[in-house]
């Protein structure tokens, strides 16, 4: 699984002009699923995101987590995180998991974030979405379970 985590002061996702999810202070998490990912990866990545300390403390150091600052997470499915641009100029997405695999893992990731005490809003899997955000910092972190868990 791959996640692009952006620290935001606000973020929202709209479908057809209708806002379907929004957060204030917190994270916008773009989440991609690949072949071979399972519940272990979803659980691990959700725990890492919930505990990620990238919010400023009283000494202006990145030392606080989402829970510490009372933040939320907007989770948006993003199969294009597995785009392969090594050949030509048009990305190939063969590394992205099919929806029958990706949807349950996307949902499990969201469930595990909620179980960790993080309020979660979402986009809609597979929809054409418009994502808006005010990136705070900016702080953007890439997490890839293939690298972090060394499968």
Lookup: tokens for 112: 């595990």
Q: Where in the sequence numbering do the catalytic residues fall?
A: 78-80
Lookup: tokens for 138: 């900016």
* Residue 121 falls in which region: left (phi positive, over 0), alpha (psi -120 to 50) or beta: beta
Going by C-alpha positions, the residue among 105, 86, 91, 92 that lies closest to residue 32 is: 105
C-alpha distances in angstroms, 31 versus 12, 72, 115?
15, 15, 18
Number of H helices, E strands in the chain: 4, 8
């Amino acid at each position: 699984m791959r996640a692009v985590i952006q620290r935001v002061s606000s973020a929202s996702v709209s479908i057809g002009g209708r806002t379907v999810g929004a957060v204030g202070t917190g994270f916008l998490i773009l989440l991609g699923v690949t072949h071979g990912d399972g519940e272990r990866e979803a659980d691990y990545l959700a725990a890492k995101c919930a505990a990620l300390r990238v919010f400023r403390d009283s000494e202006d150091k990145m030392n606080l987590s989402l829970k510490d600052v009372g933040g939320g997470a907007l989770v948006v499915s993003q199969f294009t995180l597995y785009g392969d641009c090594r050949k030509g100029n048009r990305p190939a997405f063969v590394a992205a998991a099919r929806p029958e695999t990706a949807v349950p893992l996307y949902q499990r990731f969201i469930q595990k974030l909620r179980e960790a005490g993080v309020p979660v809003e979402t986009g809609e899997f597979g929809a054409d979405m418009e994502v808006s955000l005010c990136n705070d910092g900016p702080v953007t972190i890439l997490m890839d379970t293939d690298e972090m868990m060394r499968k």
